[in-house]
């Protein structure tokens, strides 16, 4: 199964007495888009955060492109990696948050150049040229010298996506990328994500946008109570759900 890019196996995670992930298995193949749906509190963000080791799982393991995330194996034991190694692994995992998280004191172009120069030691000139290409790709060439506060939410989120791409990640994780946007700005961000999907970027997208899931997802995953209740192609999960919990959720959001 060499084309599995994201491999989540038997992952458990608790916060104190609250078990938030209760045995999650998820495989995302290279070039495919997985959309994760589920009610608030079902563990979606915790799952994404576990994939890039922002959360340390209690049980199970996660690999990206065959590389164990957060740990190294020695015999039959796992040892947590040093912070440096974890940061190196994270450069391969792009993360787009609900609230953009751009650096407010840097221009749009500088936001894109910072990580390739500091984390990947790319020459500044090369990073600047890449930033220019990426801004064109998200339709923001004219905003290179603007500061985040001068942009609309939709534009800021497009910059955040371009910034994630600047590290040429193996996988892009999106946590409700349009939930903080005014309704009229949602479409422009979904268009950018759709365009990435068409170009073969491996993605895991947590969203409540069912229309987007139907159109773009290869696989739709429905989570509830810390487990994956069902998953499959959009036509199966969205149009012919097998579980009552999925039906109840879809009835509320559709
Ligand atoms: P979702 O993204 O599906 O809404 P989350 O993964 O954010 O769900 O949260 C799942 C549950 O875990 C929620 O009950 C939330 O309050 C709890 N939780 C998340 N992060 C923490 C944390 N750092 N400490 C304690 N509880 C947390
Ligand atoms: Mg969440």
Mind listing the pLDDT tens digit for each residue in 70-88?
999 999 899 999 999 999 9
- 123 C-alpha to center of ligand 1: Å? 39
What pLDDT is recorded for position 205? 98
For residue 193, what are its two tokens?
Answer: 């994500």
Write the residue with the smallest CA distance to atom 25 of ligand 1.
Answer: 15
Whole-number Å distance between alpha carbons of 110 and 54: 24
Residue 158: is its pLDDT beyond 90?
A: yes
Per DSSP, the three-state class of 222 is strand
Write the residue with the smallest CA distance to atom 16 of ligand 1.
Answer: 41
Q: pLDDT over 90 for what percent of the chain?
A: 98
Tokens 């009229």 found at: 184
Helix 108-118, helix 124-137: angle, nearest 10? 130
Mean pLDDT, range 150-159, rounded to an integer: 98
Residue 180 burial (CB count, 10 A): 14
How do residues 191-214 score in pLDDT, each as one tens digit? 999 999 999 999 999 999 999 999
In the chain, the DSSP E strands lie at 4-15, 18-29, 33-37, 59-64, 67-68, 71-74, 77-80, 93-96, 171-175, 203-206, 219-224, 227-232
Whole-number Å distance between alpha carbons of 136 and 130: 10
What pLDDT is recorded for position 1? 46
Main-chain dihedrals φ then ψ at residue 90, nearest 5 degrees = -65, -25
Residue 168: is its pLDDT beyond 60?
A: yes
Whole-number Å distance between alpha carbons of 13 and 11: 7
Quick check: CB of 43 below 6 Å from ligand 1? Answer: yes
Query: Could you tell which of 12, 14, 17, 18 is best to mutate to test the pocket of ligand 1, judged by most ligand atoms within 8 Å of the CB?
Result: 18
How do residues 79-113 score in pLDDT, each as one tens digit? 999 999 999 999 999 999 999 999 999 999 999 99
DSSP classification of residue 14: E
Whole-number Å distance between alpha carbons of 184 and 188: 8
Question: Please, are residues 125 and 103 in contact by the beta-carbon 8 Å criterion?
Answer: no
In 30-124, the DSSP E strands lie at 33-37, 59-64, 67-68, 71-74, 77-80, 93-96
């Amino acid at each position: 199964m060499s084309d599995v890019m994201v491999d989540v196996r038997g992952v458990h995670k608790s916060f104190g007495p609250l078990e938030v992930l209760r045995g999650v298995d998820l495989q995302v193949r290279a070039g495919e888009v997985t959309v994760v749906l589920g009610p608030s509190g079902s563990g979606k963000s915790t799952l994404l955060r576990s994939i890039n080791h922002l959360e340390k799982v209690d049980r199970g393991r996660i690999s990206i492109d065959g590389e164990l995330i957060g740990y190294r194996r020695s015999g039959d034991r796992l040892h947590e990696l040093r912070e440096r190694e974890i940061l190196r692994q994270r450069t391969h995992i792009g993360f787009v948050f609900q609230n953009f998280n751009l650096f407010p004191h840097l221009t749009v172009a500088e936001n894109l150049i910072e990580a390739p120069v500091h984390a990947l030691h790319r020459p500044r000139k090369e990073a600047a040229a890449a930033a220019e290409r990426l801004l064109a790709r998200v339709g923001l060439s004219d905003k290179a010298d603007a500061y985040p506060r001068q942009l609309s939410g939709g534009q800021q989120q497009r910059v955040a996506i371009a910034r994630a791409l600047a590290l040429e990640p193996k996988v892009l994780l999106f946590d409700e990328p349009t939930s903080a946007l005014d309704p009229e700005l949602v479409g422009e961000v979904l268009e950018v994500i759709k365009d990435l999907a068409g170009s073969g970027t491996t993605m895991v997208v947590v969203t409540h946008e069912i229309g987007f899931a139907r159109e773009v997802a290869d696989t739709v995953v429905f989570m509830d109570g810390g487990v994956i209740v069902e998953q499959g192609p959009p036509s199966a999960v969205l149009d012919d759900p097998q579980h009552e919990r999925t039906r109840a959720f879809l009835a509320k959001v559709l």
